[in-house]
Amino acid sequence: MELTPLNPPNVPITHHHLLDLNAWTADEIHTVFNTADEMAQILQRRVRKAPALQGFTVCSLFFENSTRTSMSFERAAKALSADVLSFRAKSSSLSKGESLKDTLRTIEAYQADLYIVRHRASGVPYQLTRWTDACIVNAGDGRRAHPTQALLDAFTFRNTFPNFDGFAGKKLTIVGDLMHSRVARSNIRLWSKLGAEVTLCGPRSLCPASLADTPNVSLTHNLAEAVEGAHAVMAVRIQHERMQNSLFPSLAEYQARYQVTPEIMKQAHPDALVMHPGPMNRDVEISGALADCERSVIEQQVANGVPVRMAVLYTLLVGGRQKAAM
Amino acid sequence: MELTPLNPPNVPITHHHLLDLNAWTADEIHTVFNTADEMAQILQRRVRKAPALQGFTVCSLFFENSTRTSMSFERAAKALSADVLSFRAKSSSLSKGESLKDTLRTIEAYQADLYIVRHRASGVPYQLTRWTDACIVNAGDGRRAHPTQALLDAFTFRNTFPNFDGFAGKKLTIVGDLMHSRVARSNIRLWSKLGAEVTLCGPRSLCPASLADTPNVSLTHNLAEAVEGAHAVMAVRIQHERMQNSLFPSLAEYQARYQVTPEIMKQAHPDALVMHPGPMNRDVEISGALADCERSVIEQQVANGVPVRMAVLYTLLVGGRQKAAM
Amino acid sequence: MELTPLNPPNVPITHHHLLDLNAWTADEIHTVFNTADEMAQILQRRVRKAPALQGFTVCSLFFENSTRTSMSFERAAKALSADVLSFRAKSSSLSKGESLKDTLRTIEAYQADLYIVRHRASGVPYQLTRWTDACIVNAGDGRRAHPTQALLDAFTFRNTFPNFDGFAGKKLTIVGDLMHSRVARSNIRLWSKLGAEVTLCGPRSLCPASLADTPNVSLTHNLAEAVEGAHAVMAVRIQHERMQNSLFPSLAEYQARYQVTPEIMKQAHPDALVMHPGPMNRDVEISGALADCERSVIEQQVANGVPVRMAVLYTLLVGGRQKAAM
C-alpha cells in the first residue's frame, strides 16, 4: 500500500457508532481512508474476501428502499466474512401499527453486533443507540446525514486527484438540490473538517443560505462563479417530483442555469474532477457527456463504496480495540 | 448453565418435525428449554455463533408476511452456522397460477435439510411432510398452531417468574382475540400439558366456548375474574380490521372491558408477569404503561425468540440423533 | 459415479460466460453433464455441501421476478460455499430513472466474481459482459435464451430415458407457445446440437415457421403427427394473458387440439418421457393426470436444477482453469 507522504499516520479509533461525522476528527478520518486502501487491496485479490469479521453478525435495517446502498454494505460485510441479516420495512410489523420503538426492540432481539440503519426521519439511527449496545452505522437519515457516502466521495478525490497533496487549499463545489440532500450535508461537514473550502450552488429555492453558516463554506446562485478554480465539482441529484413545486424553476430553466457541463468546467482548475454520488439523471443535473469523460470519477466513487464500507465496519467492530491495544 | 432443581433431566428426542405440540411430551419440552438455555449462553459470548449446524441448509417458506418471525429463525439458523434460503410467496409462481402442490415440489428440489413454513391455511406444514424427507417447522398455519411462539412464551415464564418451581399450580390468563389466534391455541396446549391452569378471556364474539374443552382450561367473559390469582397475564393482539365486523364490540367498548391495565393486575398474584407475543397495539389490548412496567417480560419474550428457535433447529437436525446415540 | 459408456470423456472448458449455447460444443456440454452428475452426488450426502467455491461471490440480478430460478441458483451457489448477493430490480434505482448502463455500472462495483442475470430484454446479459470482467450466466433474457433450463432438461432426459445410448436418433417434440418461449429456443438449439431431431408443434399464431429454419428441426401444426415416435414430449407453458389476443385460439380450442394427454402419448415411442419446464398450468398445456404419471420426469427436471446450476457455476469459475492446467 502506498500512502502519500502527507497522509497522517493511523490513530486509535474508539467510536462505537458512525451516526454522522461531527464527532470524528480529521486524523480519525484519515485512518479510515488508510484502512479503506487496505480493503481495496483485498478486493484486488483472486479471492476477494478476508476473515476479519468472522463470527460477527451485521443487520441492515432499511426503512427506505435503497438497493445500491444496502447491497454495497452487504457486499462489504460478506467480504469480511460477517453474517448478514436484511430487514426491509415494507413487509414488517410497522404496517400492522406497531410503534417504531417496539419494532426496534424486536430488531434488537436479533442480537446482531452492528446495525446499518436508513430511515426517512432524521435521528432514527441516534434513537437506536439508546436501545441497543450494538454498533450503529447511519446509512442515511432524512435530510440530515449520510456519512459513508461522504467518506467514499472524499476518499475517491484523495486517491484520484493528480498529485494529491492533502485537502488543505482544495475547493469543492456542490451543485443541485442541496436543501433536500443528506449527501450534500455530510460532504459539507467532511470536506471542511479536512481543510478544504466548499462552495454551494443552486437555485434559491433549493439552496438556502443556512447551509453556508460554517467556516470554509460559501454559497452562490451563479454557477460560473461557483465553479471558478474548483478542484472538484459534484453534481447532486434533482428529484423530478420536486419540479412540480411552484417554488422550483422549470426543468428547462434548471438545465440552462445549473447543469454541470463540459463548457462550465472550463472555469474550474485544469485538473478538476467531476463527481456525482448517484443515482444520476443524465442531462438534468449533469451532462451525460461530462459524466462519461476522462475527468469524471463517478465510476470510481461507485467502486469505492465497498472498500470504504468495509473500513467502517471493521473500524467499529474490531479496529478500534485492536489499535487501542497496540 | 444453572438449572432449577425442578427441571427434569434431558430425554432423547427423535421428532423429525415440529408441526404443533400435540405429539411432544412434557419431558421433551423441558429438554428443549434446557437446550435453549445453552443457546442463550452462546448468544452472550463475544462471538455469538457456534458451528453446530455447519453444512446444513435451512429454507424459510413464508407464504404470509412476517419479518419478525422469519428474521428470528434466520438469525437462529445463522447463529448455528447453517446456510439459509428465503422464499417469499409474493414473487413466486403461485401468482402465475401454479398449484400449491407443484410449488412445494419445486421447493423440495432445493434439497434443504429443514423447511420453516408459514401459511394462512391450516395444515400446509403437515402437507409438506408428505412431499419431502426434510424436517418441517411450523412457523404459523392459519388459526391452528404457532408452536415456537408458545415455546418461547413458556420458556420466558420459566426463566423470569420469581423463585420458579415448575408449571404445576401456576395459572396463565390469556386475554384478547382468541378465536383467530394460533398463538393462543398453541399456548393453551403447551401450558396445560406442562401442568399449568389456563383461563381464557375476551368478548363472546372473539372467545368461543369450544376453546376451553380441554382439562385445565377454563373460560370467562369477565376480566377481573379471569385475572384473579393469575401468575401470568398474556394479552393477545386485537386486529383493527376485525373491529368493523358487527359481531365485534366497538374499540372503546373493548378497551373499557378487556384492556389489560395496571389496575386489573391488582387482582393477579403479587408476582404475576405481564406478557404479550407481539406485535402490540399499545393502549388497545394492553395499556402502554403496563407494557413498559417492571413486571412486564415482553422484551424478554422477544429476546428469547432466537435461542428457543436455535434449540428447535438443533434438536430436529442433530440433537435427537446425538442424544439417542448417547 | 457411473457414466454410460457412450458419454464422451471430459474436455477442458475455457468459457468465461454462459450467455446461450451457441458457442458451446457438444463435447463441452457432455462435460457439464458429467460435472452435474458429480454435483448430484454431493447433494446425496448427509452434509449436502462442498467447499469448491469458497471465497467466491455470486450475485443474482433478477430484473424479472422468478423465485424458482433465482432460488435454484442461490442454493447451487451456497452448496458450493460461495457467498451470494441478491439484487431485485423492483426496489432499485431503475425506478428513479437511472439508465440501465448506470445501474449495471453500480452493480459491477459490488465486485462479484459471477453475475446471474435475468431481464425481459434480449441481450442484456451480453451487454453486461462489456462492462465487467466477471463471469456472466444468462438466467433468461427476453424470448432469446434460457440456457441452464435447456441444460437441465437435456440432462434429465440423458439420466432417465431407459437404456439411454446417446442423443443421436432421438426425437424431442416441443408443444405450446413456442413464439414467446426462450426455454423452447434454448432446447431447440441444445438438442439439435447434441444430435437429436426436434419437432415443434402449436397453433400457427404461437408457432411461427421461422423457428424451424435449422437442420434437424421441423414444425407441424398437427399434434398427433408431431408426437409420432417421439422419445420425449415437452409441453411448454401457455400464458393466460395471451388468450385475450384475437390471433390466439380460445382456451377450449387450445386444450382440444394441443393439450398433451395420455391419449396422444400413445403415438409416441413406447418408452417416451413426458417433460415440462414449469411452472405448469395443469389441464391447459398438459393434462394433470399425465403430469403425475410414471413416464413423467417433471419432478426430476425440477430436482436437476440445483446440480446442473452447480456444474455451470463451478465450470465457469474454476473448472475450466483447473482442467486447462491439467
3-class SS letters over C29-87: HHHHHHHHHHHHHHCCCCCCCCCCCCCCEEEEEECCCCHHHHHHHHHHHHHCCCEEEEE
Q: Considering the domain boundaries, does residue C4 fall inside one?
A: no
Are residues B3 and B40 in contact, defined by beta-carbon separation less than 8 angstroms? no
Report the gap between the CA of B127 and the closest CA in chain C (Å). 17
Q: B110, C48: Cβ pair inside 8 Å?
A: no
When pLDDT is averaged across residues A202-225 and rounded to a whole number, the result is 94
Calpha distance A56→C136 (Å, rounded): 31
Between C89 and C238, where is the model more confident? Answer: C238
Radius of gyration of chain A (CA): 20
Taking any CB pair shorter than 8 Å as contact, residues of chain C touching chain B are: 43, 47-49, 65-68, 71-72, 74-75, 78-79, 88, 240, 278-282, 299, 302-303, 305-306
The 10s digit of each residue's pLDDT in C103-143 is 888 888 888 999 999 999 999 999 989 888 899 999 999 99
Specify whether B273 is located in the same domain as B176. yes
Between A326 and A156, where is the model more confident? Answer: A156
Q: pLDDT at position C3, please?
A: 45
Radius of gyration of chain B (CA): 20
Residue B136: strand, helix, or coil: strand
Q: CA torsion, points A68, A74, A75, A77, in degrees to nearest 10?
A: 150
Residues making up chain A, counted from first to last: 326
Chain A CB contacts of C105 under 8 Å are 299, 302
Q: pLDDT at position B293, please?
A: 95
Q: Which of A67, A88, A240 sits opposite C87 (nearest CB)?
A: A67
When pLDDT is averaged across residues A158-166 and rounded to a whole number, the result is 97
Backbone angles phi, psi at A76, to 5 degrees: -60, -45
When pLDDT is averaged across residues B212-225 and rounded to a whole number, the result is 95
Q: Strand pairing partners for A140?
A: none
Q: Which amino acid is at B227?
A: V
Specify whether C66 is located in the same domain as C172. no
Taking any CB pair shorter than 8 Å as contact, residues of chain A touching chain B are: 55-57, 83, 85, 87-88, 91-93, 96-99, 102-103, 105-113
DSSP state of A205: G
ipTM reported for the complex surpasses 0.95? no
Q: Considering the domain boundaries, does residue B293 fall inside one?
A: yes
Query: Could you tell me which chains touch chain C, where touching means 3 or more CB pairs under 8 A?
Result: A, B
The 10s digit of each residue's pLDDT in B161-207 is 999 999 999 999 999 999 999 999 999 999 999 999 999 999 998 99
The pLDDT confidence band at residue B291, using thresholds 50, 70 and 90, is very high
Chain B CB contacts of A87 under 8 Å are 67, 71
Which residue spans within B109-148 are E strands per DSSP? 114-119, 135-141
Specify whether B236 is located in the same domain as B309. no
Calpha distance B122→B182 (Å, rounded): 10
Calpha distance B106→C47 (Å, rounded): 21
Q: pLDDT at position A222, please?
A: 97
Query: How many helices and strands (H and E) does chain B possess?
Result: 12, 9
Chain B CB contacts of A109 under 8 Å are 72, 299, 302-303, 305-306
In the predicted model, is pLDDT for residue C60 greater than 70?
yes
Specify whether A298 is located in the same domain as A312. no
Q: Considering the domain boundaries, does residue C9 fall inside one?
A: no
- Burial of residue C45, with CB atoms counted within 10 A of its CB: 0-12 exposed, 13-18 middle, 19 or more buried: exposed
C-alpha grid cell, residue B104 = 412445494
Are residues C21 and B84 in contact, defined by beta-carbon separation less than 8 angstroms? no
Angle (CA) C107 B68 B112, round 5°: 70
Q: Considering the domain boundaries, does residue B287 fall inside one?
A: yes
Taking any CB pair shorter than 8 Å as contact, residues of chain B touching chain C are: 55-57, 83, 85, 87-88, 91-93, 96-99, 102-103, 105-113
Which of B315, B317, B316 has its CA nearest to residue B10?
Answer: B315
Q: Which amino acid is at A304?
A: N
Q: Considering the domain boundaries, does residue A10 fall inside one?
A: no
When pLDDT is averaged across residues B305-317 and rounded to a whole number, the result is 97
The 10s digit of each residue's pLDDT in A78-137 is 999 999 998 876 655 555 566 777 888 888 888 899 999 999 999 999 998 988 889 999
Chain A CB contacts of B300 under 8 Å are none
The pLDDT confidence band at residue A326, using thresholds 50, 70 and 90, is very low
Are residues C178 and C184 in contact, defined by beta-carbon separation less than 8 angstroms? yes
Percent of chain C with pLDDT over 70: 90
- Within 13 Å, how many C-alpha atoms sit on residue B58's CB side? 30
Q: A105, B306: Cβ pair inside 8 Å?
A: no
Report the gap between the CA of A216 and the closest CA in chain C (Å). 32
Q: Which of B48, B88, B303 sits opposite A57 (nearest CB)?
A: B48
Q: Which amino acid is at C205?
A: S
C-alpha grid cell, residue A132 = 441497543
Q: pLDDT at position B1, please?
A: 44
In the predicted model, is pLDDT for residue A321 greater than 90?
no
Q: CA torsion, points A229, A230, A236, A242, in degrees to nearest 10?
A: -30
- Burial of residue A250, with CB atoms counted within 10 A of its CB: 0-12 exposed, 13-18 middle, 19 or more buried: exposed
Q: C85, A65: Cβ pair inside 8 Å?
A: no
Contacts of C38 (CB under 8 A, 6+ apart): C1, C311
Best to test chain C binding among A68, A88, A306 (most C CBs inside 10 Å): A68
Q: C109, A282: Cβ pair inside 8 Å?
A: no
CB atoms within 10 A of CB B10: 18
User: Average per-residue pLDDT in chain A?
Assistant: 90
Q: pLDDT at position C65, please?
A: 77
When pLDDT is averaged across residues C78-101 and rounded to a whole number, the result is 75
Calpha distance A167→A193 (Å, rounded): 9
Q: Considering the domain boundaries, does residue B14 fall inside one?
A: no
In the predicted model, is pLDDT for residue B155 greater than 60?
yes
Calpha distance C134→C111 (Å, rounded): 8
Q: Strand pairing partners for B83?
A: B57
Calpha distance B176→B202 (Å, rounded): 5
Q: Which amino acid is at C157?
A: F
- Size of the B and C interface in Cβ pairs below 8 Å: 69
Specify whether C266 is located in the same domain as C175. yes
Q: A72, C110: Cβ pair inside 8 Å?
A: yes
Between C67 and A177, where is the model more confident? Answer: A177
The pLDDT confidence band at residue B241, using thresholds 50, 70 and 90, is low
Residue A87: strand, helix, or coil: strand
Between B101 and A70, where is the model more confident? Answer: A70
- Size of the A and B interface in Cβ pairs below 8 Å: 68
Q: Which of B93, B102, B109 sits opposite C305 (nearest CB)?
A: B109
- Within 13 Å, how many C-alpha atoms sit on residue C143's CB side? 7
Are residues A175 and A258 in contact, defined by beta-carbon separation less than 8 angstroms? yes
Q: pLDDT at position B175, please?
A: 98
Between B73 and C7, where is the model more confident? Answer: B73
Is the N-terminal amide bond of A9 cis, ω within 30° of 0? no
DSSP state of C296: B
When pLDDT is averaged across residues A167-178 and rounded to a whole number, the result is 97
Calpha distance C194→C189 (Å, rounded): 9
Are residues C129 and C145 in contact, defined by beta-carbon separation less than 8 angstroms? no
Q: pLDDT at position C47, please?
A: 84
Q: C306, B112: Cβ pair inside 8 Å?
A: no
Q: C110, A279: Cβ pair inside 8 Å?
A: no
Q: pLDDT at position C25, please?
A: 96
Contacts of C160-168 spanning 24+ positions with Cβ under 8 A = C160/C273, C160/C297, C160/C300, C161/C231, C161/C232, C161/C271, C161/C273, C162/C271, C164/C4, C164/C6, C165/C4, C165/C6, C166/C6, C166/C195, C167/C191, C167/C194, C167/C195, C167/C196, C168/C194, C168/C195, C168/C196
Calpha distance C89→C68 (Å, rounded): 16
- Burial of residue B22, with CB atoms counted within 10 A of its CB: 0-12 exposed, 13-18 middle, 19 or more buried: exposed
Contacts of B223 (CB under 8 A, 6+ apart): B175, B201, B257, B258, B260, B264
When pLDDT is averaged across residues A162-170 and rounded to a whole number, the result is 97
Query: What is the CA A239 to chain-centroid distance, rounded?
Result: 18
Specify whether B195 is located in the same domain as B238. yes
In the predicted model, is pLDDT for residue C238 greater than 60?
yes
Best to test chain A binding among C101, C111, C317 (most A CBs inside 10 Å): C111
CATH number of B40's domain = 3.40.50.1370
Q: C67, B105: Cβ pair inside 8 Å?
A: no
Q: Which of C68, C299, C306 sits opposite B111 (nearest CB)?
A: C306
Chain A CB contacts of B281 under 8 Å are 97-98
Specify whether C190 is located in the same domain as C319. no
Q: Measuring CA to CA, how many Å separate B82 from each of A56, B76, B113?
A: 14, 9, 10
In the predicted model, is pLDDT for residue B248 greater than 70?
no
Contacts of B198 (CB under 8 A, 6+ apart): B171, B172, B173, B174, B187, B188, B191, B192, B216, B217, B218
Percent of chain B with pLDDT over 90: 73
Complete DSSP assignment for A11-31: -----S-BS-STT--HHHHHH
When pLDDT is averaged across residues B237-257 and rounded to a whole number, the result is 76
Calpha distance C264→B263 (Å, rounded): 75
DSSP state of A319: I
Specify whether B250 is located in the same domain as B108. no
Report the gap between the CA of A91 and the closest CA in chain B (Å). 6
The 10s digit of each residue's pLDDT in B96-154 is 566 777 888 888 888 899 999 999 999 999 998 988 889 999 999 999 999 999 999 99
Q: pLDDT at position B92, please?
A: 54
Chain A CB contacts of B75 under 8 Å are 57, 85, 110-112
Specify whether C87 is located in the same domain as C211. no
N- to C-terminal Cα separation, chain A: 20
- The nearest alpha carbon in chain A to C134 belongs to A46
What angle do the packed helices A182-193 and A147-160 form, to 10 degrees? 50
Specify whether A109 is located in the same domain as A165. no
Q: B278, A98: Cβ pair inside 8 Å?
A: yes
Give the torsion sign (CA, B229, B282, B275, B291).
negative
When pLDDT is averaged across residues A11-20 and rounded to a whole number, the result is 94
Report the gap between the CA of B45 and the closest CA in chain A (Å). 11
Report the gap between the CA of C182 and the closest CA in chain B (Å). 17
Between A4 and A218, where is the model more confident? Answer: A218
Query: How many helices and strands (H and E) does chain A possess?
Result: 12, 9
Report the gap between the CA of C238 and the closest CA in chain B (Å). 11
In the predicted model, is pLDDT for residue C321 greater than 90?
no
When pLDDT is averaged across residues C50-79 and rounded to a whole number, the result is 92
In the predicted model, is pLDDT for residue B271 greater than 50?
yes
CB atoms within 10 A of CB A151: 26
Q: Measuring CA to CA, how many Å separate C153 from each of B91, C273, C301?
A: 24, 11, 6
The 10s digit of each residue's pLDDT in B79-101 is 999 999 988 766 555 555 667 77
Specify whether C163 is located in the same domain as C287. yes
Q: pLDDT at position C251, please?
A: 85
Specify whether A281 is located in the same domain as A319. no
Residue with cell 415440462: C276
Is the N-terminal amide bond of A279 cis, ω within 30° of 0? yes
User: Average per-residue pLDDT in chain C?
Assistant: 90
Element of type H or E holding A175: strand A171-176
- Size of the A and C interface in Cβ pairs below 8 Å: 68
Q: Which of C87, C88, C96 sits opposite A279 (nearest CB)?
A: C96
Contacts of B113 (CB under 8 A, 6+ apart): B56, B57, B58, B134, B135, B317, C48
Q: Considering the domain boundaries, does residue C6 fall inside one?
A: no
Number of domains in chain A: 2
Domain with A52, as residue range(s), is: 26-145+303-325
Q: Considering the domain boundaries, does residue B3 fall inside one?
A: no
The 10s digit of each residue's pLDDT in A236-250 is 998 766 666 655 678
